[in-house]
Structure 1
Amino acid sequence: MHAPPAPRGPAPFRHDVVLHSSPEELAAVAVPFLRAGLEAGDAAVITTRDSSAAVLRDALGDDDRVHVLPRHEVYAARTPAAITAYRRLVERETGGGPGRLRVVGETDFGPTPREWLEWQRYEAVLNEAMRSSPTWGLCAYDVGRLPEELIDCGLRTHTHLVTAEGRRPNPGFTEPADYLRALPVPEEPLEATEALLRVDDARDFAGLRHAVGAQLAQLDGPRDAMEDLHLAIDEMAANAVRHGGPPVRLRLWASADRVVCTISDGGVGMDDPFAGYGPAHGEDLSHGGMGLWLARQLCDHVDVVDGRDGLTVRLTTRLH
């Protein structure tokens, strides 16, 4: 059980949301936001869909102080990498000086509800991960394009709403930890089928590693993805032994399109919804604490279930 975080002073990170239905509506809010930043000496970045970026760029008169970045450079394939990319962007644009970075961003939630969930988590985690960062983010949510579930995410993960009339506190904002704990853990139909590998009380971890590797080697998936999954399973099994309690259990399933593995232990659990979105000990990797962080970067989906009988981590990797 992790201790609650120590109280902190006022956070320099600002996380605002603008709801819009066209690039022009977005520009009515985002252009004054960026101009005010430039006048204050802030750095400015736009990372939205191309259609919105073009309208914003045109409205700003091609000011070379405003940098337009492709979304994939900021919203990386997996959310821990996206948080790292965001931090590096801040360092690069501010040079570590006293200035602030203003970002007009548009999260790429992906095409499916399963992918949406990872980015819903990201929007909440960002409030904690960037808490001490000199950044002011204005996140654009297109109400004509995004499903209601994602609009609700925007309204619950941003502290302030911004409209053409001004900026005001967001009454729908939910504390990030509470929002994360309330998100559902998706059901995985493969868990109701016969497992390829079932271990009820792992004690020989070298043998477990070989058994997992043998099963993964038989699957029709990219070699790199299978190696990444194998490493993530190793890390989670080691975590279960190191931080949990016996018995350590493992299940492995596969279908035509994905591999799923659960690693469970009988310990006291882990009440930390932010775990795994950065190294547990910050930049000093010599202290360890990288297991779940690595797993979130190595696998397409990672779900952590803190149950009555211990902790379960579910890893999912797409085969195609």
Structure 2
Amino acid sequence: MPNDTFDHRMAVFGTDDAFVAAALPFLTEGLIATATGEPAPVAIAAPDKLDLLRDTLAADAENVTLIPHTDWYTGSAANAVAQAAGYLTAHAGPGGRIHLLMEPVWNGRAGRSPRETAEWIRYEALANLLFAPFATTVLCAYDTRTAGHAVIAAARRAHPGTGVHEPPARIAAELDAVPLPSPPADAEPLERPDADVVRQRARARGLAVADAELFATAVAEAAASLGPLTGALLWGEGPACVCELRSTRHVTDPLAGFVPPPTAAEPEPGQGLWYARQVCAYVDVRDDVRGATVRLQYA
């Protein structure tokens, strides 16, 4: 029976044989679904695992799309959202029907620091909301040899069917309960954080011309989505320039800046945060009784 809602699964393994044992039934399920009009299943994994799948699938490998995960996961967690949304739009069947096996690069960007790992766990949790309208079937592959047990334990909370699944909003709230480090004493106040000012100051702090342009636009777009600001600070040296924006408006939606913008010409609220999440390595949002603090770090 075809799946009618987002089916978010998780496989944990520690050997090549265990990976194949988890992946093969999933891809076979996807191959069977092609008889009902679903597109070919997709495996996004480490190159050595793709070689294992080619050998195991034999002739059926021609009917599975194999993508090295270093080609898919090329940026932040928000970039992964954009990549998945774009792929579904371009390749999925009606209602988003497609089988995707997905292995993040846990020995690369995703696992390079506790902060980066936390953002990917946020992505895993929010995926349950972001892709809820789609009849997509996903198997997230976690290799204990690269992901590590702490990461896997956190990821289990983000996947239905693991026995420890928790609501995405609760996981996001826990991540956002961690206070941001205080701005440095030499942080530079910005009277108005428009694109021209931020571009000029970012260039003075060592950002290359193209990077300063992107960063300045991201700050301006984020500022526009927050409404009237009560303050702005800039600090850091290129490429790790940081801009903090404060507003009396609250940002209560955990999906703010993660939902892909509509194709319509008129922008919707929060679209500026979407652009900022695509451009910046980190976009941290914190709410308190006074409003919202949004901190953008370029790299």
Alignment TM class, shorter chain as reference = 0.7 to 0.9
Name 1:167's counterpart in structure 2. Answer: none
Name 1:286's counterpart in structure 2. Answer: 266
| Within-5 A mapping of 1:1-320 | 12-41=5-34, 42=38, 43-63=40-60, 64-94=62-92, 96-97=93-94, 100-108=97-105, 109-160=110-161, 170-184=162-176, 191-195=183-187, 197-199=188-190, 202=191, 205=192, 209-241=195-227, 248-255=230-237, 258-267=240-249, 269-279=250-260, 282-289=262-269, 290-318=271-299
Q: Secondary structure at 1:127's aligned position in 2?
A: helix
1:256-293 C-alpha deviation (Å, 9 max, x unpaired): 651111000123x121111101246x333414321111
Name 1:164's counterpart in structure 2. Answer: none
Q: Cα–Cα, structure 1 residues 106 and 285, in superposed 2: closer, same or farther, change >3 Å?
A: farther
Length, aligned pairs only: 287
1:166-198 C-alpha deviation (Å, 9 max, x unpaired): xxxx21111111111111466665713311x21
Q: 1:176 is aligned with what amino acid?
A: P
Q: 1:149 is aligned with what amino acid?
A: A
Of 300-309 and 175-184, the range deviating more from structure 2: 175-184
Structure number having the greater helix percentage: 2
Q: Cα–Cα, structure 1 residues 115 and 185, in superposed 2: closer, same or farther, change >3 Å?
A: farther
Q: Is the 8 A contact 1:263 1:312 kept in 2?
A: yes
Using structure 2 for the length normalisation, give the TM-score.
Answer: 0.87
Q: 1:286 is aligned with what amino acid?
A: E
Q: 1:254 is aligned with what amino acid?
A: G
Once residues 283 and 142 of structure 1 are traced to their aligned partners in structure 2, the CA distance between those partners, rounded to angstroms, is 37
Once residues 236 and 81 of structure 1 are traced to their aligned partners in structure 2, the CA distance between those partners, rounded to angstroms, is 17
Q: Secondary structure at 2:298's aligned position in 1?
A: strand
Q: 2:215 is aligned with what amino acid?
A: L
Q: 1:81 is aligned with what amino acid?
A: N
Considering only aligned residues, what root-mean-square deviation do their CA atoms show, in Å? Answer: 2.4
User: 5+ residue gaps in structure 1?
Assistant: 1-9, 161-169
Q: Is the 8 A contact 1:235 1:295 kept in 2?
A: yes
Using structure 1 for the length normalisation, give the TM-score.
Answer: 0.81
Per-residue deviation, 1:306: 0.6
1:69-116 C-alpha deviation (Å, 9 max, x unpaired): 12144324133332222123234433x347831111101224222322
Q: Is the 8 A contact 2:176 2:286 kept in 1?
A: no
Once residues 185 and 221 of structure 1 are traced to their aligned partners in structure 2, the CA distance between those partners, rounded to angstroms, is 31
